[in-house]
Amino acid sequence: EAKAARKRLKAGTPASLLDGVPVAWKDLFDLQGRVTTAGSVVLKSDPPAKRDAALVAAGKAAGLVSIGCLNMTEFAYSGIGLNPHYGTPRNPNDSRVHRSPGGSSSGSGVVVAAGIVPLAIGTDTGGSVRIPASFNGVTGYKSSTGHYSMDGVFPLSKTLDTLGPLAHTVEDCVLADAVLRGLKKPGVKAAPIRGQLFLVPETVVFDGCEAAVQRNFEASIERLRKAGAKVKRIRMPVLQEIFDLIAARGHILGAEALAVHWDRVKGEAAARMDARVVKRILMAEKMTAVDLVLFMEARTRMIAESTALIGDAIIAYPTTPHVAMPIAPLEADHDVFFRNNARTLRNTLIGNFLDWCGVSIPNGHDGDGMPTGFLLSAPHGADQAVLATALGAENLIRGD
């Protein structure tokens, strides 16, 4: 692929704006001739993929050079990124302590942050692009559902699964989005920040935030305000209602994950899976058909209400309420893991529940040099608007 790209570039006939750029794929994407293991050992004996996933094929057509597949949380079911089978990717921001890479697209965040490849493609069902972006200090774009084809991507939740790139800048994500959709050039241009309305929810998303996360967020917001942005802090009761609903009825994510893995978690394969993943999947057994119907009815209503409230504004809050944590305590105690996993996923899963698109941008560090993330979100289908705003606001958010 690299030789073919070089030949096209020398001839002045590049296949796309990113012809010859190296890319790596989360191990959920089918690559022809390779077994898609989804971060698990129980799929290693499956037959190799007969064809590339639709997005991999689009990348090849654009001249992207596939380096290979990337480690991930087993079956994409964790926001922290631990993997007992293939090892947990090391967050490159701390050379002394092995810290969480974020999940489930753990390898995708690490390889970009470490400078191994400039572009990686992940999936996001509850935060799995945006969390690794935040923890590793890179940029991650989560698309609206349906923005990209999911053909050839191992599922977690067919209702909530989305895809997106992780890269160093918003511009790189915009370019990746364009070429993966077969566009000759991006349709996104940097939006003016003066006059743009940013809504900052005061419900849930700041609860228990670490001091550095809060401090860096407020500094970014102040730079946006000084540049002429309109900043409005609002109560959004719907955000608390999401968590109340999940506590009362369960989650479509859990129900669909259980449907995908029923035979595995009920059979001999369960003993060869990450016990934390098995436990999370089996939690959905408590859901009833009535729970699922009432959940989906409530979700439809809450999406409509939040979309009407937001309008043309952009939602802004911290991507994660804390920085990447050391993995040793998480591996040693399942209760510690589950408590921190829920905390890690809290802010990002809101966007999946409400089907928002979003971009996480690095906006500083804590006292130990660990990155924090600033999340911009917009309702379903407003991908171009949120990317344009992120492009226009990136330097202000970063403080460059």
DSSP string, 226-255: HTT-EEEEE--HHHHHHHHHHHHH--HHHH
Cis amide bond preceding 78, omega within 30? no
For residue 323, give every residue at least 6 positions away whose Cβ sits within 8 Å of its Cβ, in sequence order, or none: 135, 210, 212, 213, 366, 368, 370, 371, 372
Query: Of 134, 108, 105, 128, which Cα lies nearest the Cα of 119?
Result: 108
**Residue 104 appears among annotated catalytic residues:** yes
Supply 63's token pair. Answer: 């001249």
The SS3 call for residue 80 is coil
Strand partners, 26: 70
The SS3 call for residue 22 is strand
The SS3 call for residue 210 is coil
Catalytic residue among 26, 60, 157, 377: 26
Catalytic residue among 16, 66, 100, 104: 104
**Residue 128 appears among annotated catalytic residues:** yes
Strand partners, 359: 141, 376
Query: Of 88, 32, 91, 132, which Cα lies nearest the Cα of 331?
Result: 88
Query: Of 78, 181, 80, which Cα lies nearest the Cα of 121?
Result: 181
With 0-12 CB in 10 A as exposed, 13-18 as middle and 19+ as buried, what is 32? middle
Supply 29's token pair. Answer: 């994407």
Catalytic residue among 40, 78, 100, 128: 128
For residue 31, give every residue at least 6 positions away whose Cβ sits within 8 Å of its Cβ, in sequence order, or none: 25, 49, 52, 53, 56, 66, 68, 69
Q: What CA dihedral angle connects 58, 133, 236 and 385, to 10 degrees?
A: -40
**Residue 142 appears among annotated catalytic residues:** no
Catalytic residues: 26, 104, 128
